[in-house]
Structure 1
Amino acid sequence: MRGFQRSNEIQARLHELVPGGAHTYARGANQYPEDMAPILVRGKGARVWDCDGNEYVEYGMGLRAVTLGHGYRPVLDAVSSAIADGISFSRPSELELLAAQDFLELVPGADMVKFAKNGSDATTAAVRLARAVTGRETVAVCDQPFFSVDDWFIGTTTMNAGIPPPPTVRFRFNDLPSLAAVLAAHEVACVILEQATALAEPAPGFLEGVRALCDRHGALLIFDEIITGFRWSAGGAQAVYGVVPDLSCWGKAMGNGFPLSALAGKREYMELGGLRTDADRVFLLSTTNGPETASLAAFRAVVRAYRDTDPVARMEHAGRRLAAGVNAIAAGLGIADHLQVVGRPSCLIFLTKDPEGVPSQSYRTLFLQELLERGVLGQSFVTSAAHTDADIDLTIDACRNAAIVYAKALGNGTVDGLLAGRPVAPALRPHSCPRRLDDRGDG
């Protein structure tokens, strides 16, 4: 049995100082089995170590922000060189021009780019710009999990305390009639969506149809590339599917973990936040830390890695091996309808279902528990280019043993006696229950 004593002590202290015990809800202890939420101290490649000395193969890779691996030397060298000459200045640095050039070479549908720090910075700036361009307020949002921490989106979720009802309407992915109905019923400023997700590819003609509907109704088309950028391809999903948006939003893997995001788009719109317009100016993006040199240097090193090597191919190779291995194990145990690895090879997730075939947080938690005990950490099976065949072999072995326990729970019709503690809970939920913080401090 692995020990988590020090991790649990630190987690309890974090709950005293940080609301929720983590600075990102998806990183919270309530996303992991109780008393088994590792506090990490370092990482290298696809491996991480916690403060109790436990080693893991990690998946998810910084909530999909790390595609080249932890401690990737060319990125670290570029950052070290840049910060030795200063990090933040009162005027633009040359790195801002060089990074912008690099970015726009990757994304040929965009004419201009502005850097920031978080994906929400970019998506909210895009919405603000679209509202200024169109003179409209309503935002049409695809029925996908997450776009921003800001009111226009979070107000549509169940975790909406303190937020007035936003002027946001929903449409369904791969359902052009649902979008057409929304655009006919509302004066929409913009349509925002991810072109694809781990589980959903765009149907033939869908993205082209979205583009045509936006043009017909005078709404701007915004693509959220925060996950797909540098994971589907260096040029994002738009380079894969060939549909050009008016604006696109980027983040996560841009800096291989260093904080950087971007809003990119057509010049005629982006210049409304610049100095070549006679229209009322838009407060587009203005951040103190957006252009700091460390993250821009990291981004340029990431771009070089994508030019000189093929990180996406390595991610997909690792993902295909892992999915095939785990799904074969589940099939051999007769539980393939209950435990599955699915999705794009570079963006895999695992599905966990109860004896009735219903998605189950209890069974998910049991699977996470058994993986942690065997040296695998991850809320998903999202790979990086650093995942080696040895990492995948270890993970498949861990999944084999975890699946045996899973099959036993299915046979018993319950996780009772096998799962220690309460199940995990959705990160965005209206109440602390079912994982309200108790006296143990584990959440």
Structure 2
Amino acid sequence: MSAPKLRVAICGGGIGGLCLAVALSRYAHIQVDVYEGAGRFREIGAGVMIWARTWRILELLGLAEQFIKVTDIPPSPDVATGFEYRRSDRKDGFKWNWVGMPYGCIRFHRAHFLDVFVDNLPQGLAHFGKRLVSYDKRAGGEIGLAFADGTSAVCDLLVGCDGIKSVVRAQMLRAKAAEDGQPGLLALIEPKWTGSIAYRGLIPSKDLPSADGVKHRTLVTPMMYCGQNKHIVAYSISQGNIINVVAFASELDKEDQDYGEEWVTDCTKDEMLQCFRGWETEALALLEPVENPTKWGIHHLKELPFYVADTVVLLGDAAHGMSPHLGSGAGQAIEDAYVLASVLGAAATNNLDQALEAYQRTRLPVANHVVKASFESGKMFEFNSPFAEEYSTLGPAIGRQWAFLTESTPEGEAEKVVGILRSLEKDKDI
């Protein structure tokens, strides 16, 4: 008789959860089920960017050709613009920094990006209207899942891919706090407001005005318009037909304060324009066409000390929800998925504990570093870091914030996690 399959339940059908499902579905010894609280897979937000490192993972998963069809500009290994930076909180704005890297900034519409994973998900894996309420460990090691609609399911491994407000993370940390006498873990459950808000909007490229017959530079170049306590990010998506605009404003003294229940609200164009009054014309030209902006409270997680508890594991924003300033939230979720799939694919079903420990040792230090670096970068863009407005040192420091992209390779991380697994397996057998 063949060995029973490892039953993996993925709670959350966002980018990280679906990437993991697609990657795990290729292993014959693993049964995958995706439980999504909504009635269909969907992404909130407009743009998503990835860097060369994440693109390599998509190549390794055999999905690159499909992603090329929905990217803004077909990726090239040549060094290209990551971001161009302007000082814009004055009428006479000027360029002060440029960050380049191989492949540059690879841009997508979030919905189109998610659709590629959806299109590669085998039939029968997705279960909709299944919002997880709680889980419980049962005799024999299986995990029971209870959903809001009154239904239930069981699995051997629960992967919390349920976002920055993760139910899985909350239960995991509460249980660990009680079991290990560490009440401090309770403070890590709720996301914290960074003190920043963001006005978001989409502009059809045809509505973006030109100046003296010259097209607005965001049509071809990802841009960062910087000012004291504020900055605007803009780049094209949807094959260049849409400009994604995100305008940030920060109040340093409000970091970690309560933001309120509603993180995303509608606001008036006038509120947004008043916030950036006095900025250079080129930056304001991105805000003028936004008729119905939304206002977002930017939250992140404090660095977690672990991503694994028994046979429950966190992935993506549930583990390391971060501010968006390095454009790396999606990339870190995809790398989580790639590494976790690599180690589960290499592990026998009776070595699950060792596989999860290997995943945690591989991913936790890197992802936690990016959480911190992303928050620091937002301060740099708004001249609130120790570098202040010293452009000659601030510019190179910003470039170094992305150093993690080249400190290893995805293939190397896959080899590393499997190597840790094999070492732990040997220790278990001694």
Asked if these proteins are the same fold (TM beyond 0.5), I'd say: no
Higher RCO (CA-CA < 8 Å; seq separation 6+): 1
Q: Which TM bucket (shorter chain)? A: under 0.3
Q: Which protein has the bigger strand share?
A: 2
